[in-house]
Structure 1
């Protein structure tokens, strides 16, 4: 093993040939040249050639020997990955399309986001220019910290971190690197903001204004079903059973990479059945009659798309059109700021105020777990929970009069 560690220099003879370990100065000057090592790696199964892993540039013999021993252990265990000439940016160009096409794949909107984060944030950075095998956890933490210092929001930074974690996890799994450095990263804390909703009277005022528009039924359905924007504009008449008063949600119409796409629901739990109330059912029947009249008036110019909510000529709605229409109606009604997605929160708050079980609310919204629903709407449960407690206690008969009555109730007679 002694010959596995060596010292050499870059001096050359009169013929410009490198002397390497034959330089006479190596024997007289202990600081001349540098130390290196080589490790025999057996036969490469793919090429049939013997492998030898080398590295030089160590200042002392001890440093070279320690590095050599670490590599030898990994070679014996079959976990050693030789240094790569592939940069992280080059690897990402190969990883993303492969990741999108394998396993569960990526939805178009997720793919669009990943491409944007790689193009705008990762590729311009020094991290992208590093060799894949040189990346360590502190490099990743410094990169993410730099994003935060540049003003990127905590949620955005965490999403970019997800790209780092996914790509480097795949690199380790495919033995391009000997370990995954993207574990236990230092991520910024994303503050949770309480959901802000309108009062029921304000919801009524908005729907009164919306009813004057041809697409008023769109907002009736949004408020009373909690469907997402993409689920609403991607809804087809074949997904609705008006006789049974139930909607099957199986489509999500979204915009990705400048295109409007129909894709599956956001999560597996997102594909669900939603029961309709009387008001929503009536709104849909009224809209069905109006849409039929528009189709009759449009004749050959009318595009029969099968979607529930359409433009006057039958073309399906675009996501941004629905958002802009909601905002214009909100302003017309003189109501506080609320996003289109806020109607989904509004439905949840109305359900909770009506003392509906949180599990039912979660199922209607298509959340993957009840904990997600509780995290988002937990602050709205207070009064509903108190009412439920009172109702539960009222079911139990009492043989004796209560010894104490709250001051809010009638005073006890002397």
Structure 2
């Protein structure tokens, strides 16, 4: 049974102390209640929580976010790929730990978290804010699951939504111009043209390209089996995004650029190493890649800003324009589902609707012995109303004459 004890401070002020036992029988006490009513309320909460198995030892709530965060980081890092963990580690180190590291988990209030999210939004993009929240939420979720907190104060916090941006696509002619310019730079790589061609026609992510070996090239097919990801200052080999292997088409156009490299590389060695023979890092803003983009933009004002990853969008868009099925495009992209592919690239398929309509017209015309061009004279669907009105007008006139 819990009990309440009255005691006095040196100033003579009256205070109350609650004596109770934890569910495993250990004696505990909580002091400094100014009124007996507050002491009784705490006593009642302890009693009820023990009965319904929701009791949380107040001492566990004194653990700081920094202390628990280190344990969370150890677990999280072991569960994620280096490329994915890098952004979460940065969010923890740069934003979460400096703000919350010294705060006991039991002292975190929902309002304080909301204010922190609002402050982050003034300097960071929506995705970065979401990642910072995810780190704090995950740490506090760990606390709840380990009976250190009853509720997660970071749960259900409204977060900013990232603005949707249309993927950047190159036309065929722009892609070929880029291949030429990449090969022509004064400080470019000797294999730059082949790199751009593989990215722009085959849809690989940079890490997948960096991990390629001659064994992955199989005639008209390219086997995407591994991914080289940056972990700190190093590149490490791991599985592809989602852990699934895939096979993508390898056009002869790309084969002509790739063949000399494959033929001069031994079986297990990577095709596109850096100067030290290690996995290549994605080229940044001041690189052979960005220089080639600048030269292309000087020749073509419509040439977009480009990164290696955006060339992947080009490859997928070109595949769509060949009338490849959505399942084939999904396999090339390496998406988990066709729904994901449609959500991202479905608008590129809208042009096919006209072709479907034309094909149906042709089939119907063949059955009826009618030239579909006759139907096309009615124009777009808005003229269907005009056709209806004209028919109605003619009918009304005939009725008047017959009357």
User: Which 5+ residue runs of structure 2 have no aligned equivalent?
Assistant: 298-302, 381-386, 388-403
Pick one of 189, 193, 200 that aligns with 2:161.
Answer: 189
Contact 2:65–2:139 (CA<8 Å) still a contact in 1? no
Higher share in helix: 2
1:331: which partner in 2? 294
Rounded to whole Å, the distance in 2 between the matches of 1:81 and 1:333 is 63
Give the SS at the match of 2:241.
coil
Q: CA RMSD in A?
A: 2.9
Please tell me whether residue 163 in structure 1 is matched to residue 129 in structure 2.
no
CA 196–407 in structure 1, closer or farther in 2 if over 3 Å, else same? farther
CA 308–388 in structure 1, closer or farther in 2 if over 3 Å, else same? farther
Give how far 1:113 is off. 2.2
Rounded to whole Å, the distance in 1 between the matches of 2:180 and 2:360 is 36
TM-score when scaled to structure 2?
0.81
Give how far 1:337 is off. 1.6
CA offset digits 1:254-287 (Å, max 9, x no partner): 2221112112112124x21112222223332243
CA 72–341 in structure 1, closer or farther in 2 if over 3 Å, else same? same
Pick one of 199, 214, 236 that aligns with 1:222.
Answer: 199
Rounded to whole Å, the distance in 2 between the matches of 1:330 and 1:349 is 19
Please tell me whether residue 310 in structure 1 is matched to residue 273 in structure 2.
yes
Give how far 1:87 is off. 0.6
Pick one of 69, 87, 96 that aligns with 1:92.
Answer: 69
CA offset digits 1:168-193 (Å, max 9, x no partner): 22222222223333321221111111
CA 284–41 in structure 1, closer or farther in 2 if over 3 Å, else same? same
CA offset digits 1:129-157 (Å, max 9, x no partner): 221233343332222222113x1111101
CA 78–352 in structure 1, closer or farther in 2 if over 3 Å, else same? same
User: Which 5+ residue runs of structure 1 have no aligned equivalent?
Assistant: 13-24, 26-31, 45-49, 296-303
Contact 1:206–1:329 (CA<8 Å) still a contact in 2? yes
Contact 1:194–1:379 (CA<8 Å) still a contact in 2? no
CA offset digits 1:274-315 (Å, max 9, x no partner): 1222222333224334x36xx9xxxxxxxx96111235x782
TM-score when scaled to structure 1?
0.79
Contact 1:197–1:338 (CA<8 Å) still a contact in 2? no
CA offset digits 1:309-344 (Å, max 9, x no partner): 235x78245214487222222223334321111110
Alignment of 1:6-405 (within 5 A): 6-11=5-10, 32-42=13-23, 44=24, 50-83=25-58, 84=60, 85-101=62-78, 105-125=79-99, 127-149=100-122, 151-212=123-184, 214-215=190-191, 216-242=193-219, 245-269=220-244, 271-289=245-263, 291=264, 306-310=269-273, 315-321=277-283, 324-334=287-297, 335-391=303-359, 394-396=362-364, 397-399=366-368, 401=370, 404-405=375-376
